[in-house]
Homo-oligomer: A and B are copies of this chain.
């Protein structure tokens, strides 16, 4: 699952680099606009890189925002157990790294006993700054 940055392709590095430099989640077309000076001209080049980066856990997709954020959770070797807090006022997004929470959710069993291999949790509220 984990993969070193050296293994990334050129386009993947370019896209990851710009996402890592952003404090906030970035939208695909904003990424596209920002990497055009580096030669990535068309949506598929960006989306292909995003797909791969999500797959290997370097970035996560914030589903409710259609945006992508770099993973800064060192414990997040698991790209398939993600949790975020989202401020509905300033749209600030933080990845939550709580081993208690991830343990609880990873062990969660529904009534039918279906076994999950992945989850995504998004919390919404108003952050301290916005209060």
Stretch of A2-10, A42-50, A112-120 with 4 or more beta carbons under 8 angstroms from chain B: A112-120
Residues of B within 8 A of A108 (CB): 98, 101, 123
Copy tally for this chain in the complex stands at 2
Q: Which residue of B lies closest to A62 (CB)?
A: B63
Number of A residues with CB within 8 Å of any CB on chain B: 32
Q: How far is the CB of A54 from chain B (nearest CB, A)?
A: 12
Q: How far is the CB of A113 from chain B (nearest CB, A)?
A: 8
Which chain A residues have a beta carbon within 8 Å of chain B's beta carbons? Answer: 63-64, 80, 85, 87-88, 94, 96, 98, 101, 104-105, 108, 110-128
List 16 other contacts, CB 8 Å, given A114-B126, A119-B122, A119-B123.
A63-B64, A63-B122, A85-B116, A88-B118, A98-B108, A98-B111, A112-B127, A112-B128, A114-B127, A115-B125, A115-B126, A116-B125, A117-B125, A118-B124, A118-B125, A121-B121
